Amino acid sequence: MKKKLTIALLAVFLSPLAFAQGNWGAAVKFGAAETDPQTLQKVFDAVGGDLTKGYGFFALEGLYEWNLVDQNKLGVKIGLDGYGENKYKSHSIKEITETIYSIPLTVYYKWDNGVKNWSFFAGAGVTFMQAEIDDSESSYDESKVFPHITGGVEYRFTEVFALGLDVKYNFSAKLEKNIEGLDYKTDKSGIGAALAARFYF
């Protein structure tokens, strides 16, 4: 998995370099997103114990924008999102850890109002998501591709730097896997929001 994440990380930052000139950038995001570890929640409801849900996430993003009329832009961006772990443990059940990563690919339209001003964007795309389930003795993984929509606003302080708020909604982002007779389910469908620091080059 670490090798896959390294490749994905390189893709996020190097993909804009495939274009010959200008209008590309990178972003760092910190935010919160809905999480529903359904199977862990059922175990917790049935036998008690300690269930910790990871609502936060950290993301890296690479982007490229084409100039359109009236300063507006058409853009494409790819990200690497790492979500907070979901953990369950009790006296009778060993600790189970669920870790989720995703790679969203988005095409968007930006109403660009230039420097020292607010700009807005809206778009849609697909997300590749992978979940790893570790029970201290063995580990399992499952992946899925699903659609998402996104929108946001940013304030462009300079030609190079902007700060904004991104909102994303995932559709049908439920993972299911049979693990040793247990029908394991977790769901990342729903809304998430993040503060984004973007750097343009």
Chain position carrying tokens 């299911």: 176
Tell me: the pLDDT tens digits for 157-199?
Answer: 999 999 999 999 999 888 877 766 666 777 788 899 999 999 9
Say if CB 30 and CB 88 are below 8 A apart.
no
Closest CA to 13 of 109, 100, 77: 77
The pLDDT assigned to 181 comes to 62
Tell me: the pLDDT tens digits for 95-122?
Answer: 777 888 899 999 999 999 999 999 999 9
Q: How far is residue 100's CA from residue 187's CA, in Å, rounded to a whole number?
A: 10
Q: How far is residue 57's CA from residue 33's CA, in Å, rounded to a whole number?
A: 7
The pLDDT assigned to 20 comes to 40
| Residue type (1 letter), 99 | T
Residue range 111-135: mean pLDDT, rounded: 92
What is the residue-wise DSSP string for 121-164? EEEEEEEEEEEEEE-SS-EEEEEEEEEEEEEEEEEE-SSSEEEE
Position with higher pLDDT, 135 vs 130: 130
Q: For residue 127, is pLDDT > 90?
A: yes
Tokens of 112: 């660009």
Fold of 2-200: Porin (2.40.160)
| Residue type (1 letter), 82 | G
Tokens of 102: 């995703």
Q: For residue 53, is pLDDT > 70?
A: yes
0.85 exceeded by pTM: no
Q: How far is residue 191's CA from residue 30's CA, in Å, rounded to a whole number?
A: 14
Tell me: the pLDDT tens digits for 72-100?
Answer: 999 999 999 988 777 777 666 677 778 88
